[in-house]
Structure 1
Amino acid sequence: MDASGFVEEKSECRLYIGNLDYKISEATLIKMFSPFGKIVAEDFLLHTRGPKRGEPRGFAFIQFSNREEAKLAKVKMNGRLVCGRPLIVRLESEKHQAEMTHNSGAVFGCENGSGLGGSSSGQVSRSAKIAAIKNKLKTMEGESESVKKKQKQSQMTCSSLDSLAPS
């Protein structure tokens, strides 16, 4: 297998986990995801400099031994409330696809341009983020009742995270 095939296969087994509460530890993260399969690698990212040096960055990566385990973990954990925050879980390959789609859309999204020279990717990125937040709010407003029911069913407290490990 060539190097590009290996990278592609690896990204199919590797999950991005975002919107992590800063109280969640590396061990807790592994306990939360280990019921879905064999974890072969994990990257729990910390700030490397500045005043937050050594503190969690709020996201991590977990690599499972195969694609099916990673997809199962994504389906089961994406949107799950942990410490009052919904997890964002997606395959690493989906993140790359989303970035490529976003970047290719930037070429067409310049109609409202700022008229400034230089790179406009910062503006497009900000506009895209604002649009995503607006869409999410709209969705949340429409589903507020079902979200409240889900929260009651799946709400976890940070103190109960240690009980996530399978018995």
Structure 2
Amino acid sequence: MKDQNGLVDEKCESRLYIGNLDQRITEALLLKLFSPFGKIVSEDFLWHTRGPKRGEPRGFAFIQYSTREEAQLAKEKMNGRLACGRPLVVRLASEKLLVETAVHPPKAVGEANKSGLAGSLSGQMSRSAKIAAIKNKLKAMEQESCSMKKPRQADSTACGGHLDHSSIKR
């Protein structure tokens, strides 16, 4: 992601979205699975805060590595990897944001947008961002379908177990 000056936001580039988490995966297990790829700076494991599922995991989390390279390595090695019988979905958080934006574009805000005075340039930028997000989504779907065809590594024997990282090439 870029800030207003066009510079890449390093924090966003080293932050991973981890989705499709089984309800039995704990924060400790998640950290154990992702720690071999680099220094984890922060972890956000999301929980339901209200409603009938209050206190249960939401099925996704975010992990922040100290560098973009560590995050990229973890993404490459862990996306599609089985954990508790489910293939993990691992993307850079910025990629997740692009996909979300394409599926659910932000609502127009301000009088200029309401009155139609917003320039066509903003429409073009929005369209090109949507196209880029759709391309990323298609690429991710292709990678997921390829990983489904041939198992990458056996699931951990018990959900509380861990993946064997000794076979992973760095």
- Same fold per superposition (TM over 0.5): yes
- 1:23–1:164 CA distance, 2 compared to 1 (3 A): farther
Q: Which residue of 1 aligns with 2:53?
A: 52
Q: Is the 8 A contact 2:45 2:62 kept in 1?
A: yes
Q: Which residue of 2 aligns with 1:154?
A: 154
Q: Is the 8 A contact 1:8 1:93 kept in 2?
A: no
Q: Which residue of 2 aligns with 1:83?
A: 84
Per-residue CA deviations over 1:8-42 (Å, capped at 9, x if unaligned) read 22110100000000000001000000000000000
Distance 2:12 2:4 in 1: 11
Q: In the TM superposition, what is the alpha-carbon distance from 1:99 to its structure 2 partner?
A: 2.7
Q: In the TM superposition, what is the alpha-carbon distance from 1:103 to its structure 2 partner?
A: 5.0
Q: In the TM superposition, what is the alpha-carbon distance from 1:7 to its structure 2 partner?
A: 8.0
- The within-5 A match list for 1:3-82 is 8-82=9-83
- 1:43–1:143 CA distance, 2 compared to 1 (3 A): closer
Q: In the TM superposition, what is the alpha-carbon distance from 1:165 to its structure 2 partner?
A: 8.2
Q: Is the 8 A contact 2:14 2:68 kept in 1?
A: yes
Structure 2 portions without partners, runs of 5+? 106-136
Count of matched residue positions in the alignment of Structure 1 and Structure 2: 129
- 1:51–1:99 CA distance, 2 compared to 1 (3 A): closer
Q: Which residue of 2 aligns with 1:96?
A: 97
Distance 1:27 1:165 in 2: 16
Q: Is 9-18 or 94-103 further displaced after alignment?
A: 94-103
Whose helix fraction is larger, Structure 1's or Structure 2's?
1
- Amino acid in structure 2 at the alignment position of 1:27: A
Q: How large is the RMSD of aligned CA atoms in angstroms?
A: 3.3
Please give the secondary structure, in 2, of the residue aligned with 1:160: coil
- Amino acid in structure 1 at the alignment position of 2:156: M
Distance 1:93 1:143 in 2: 22
Q: Is the 8 A contact 2:29 2:160 kept in 1?
A: no
Per-residue CA deviations over 1:70-89 (Å, capped at 9, x if unaligned) read 00000000000111100000
Structure 1 portions without partners, runs of 5+? 105-131
Q: Is 93-102 or 79-88 further displaced after alignment?
A: 93-102
TM-score when normalising by structure 2:
0.64
- Amino acid in structure 1 at the alignment position of 2:22: D
Distance 1:88 1:12 in 2: 17
Distance 1:143 1:58 in 2: 20
Identity %: 59
TM-score when normalising by structure 1:
0.65
- Amino acid in structure 1 at the alignment position of 2:62: F
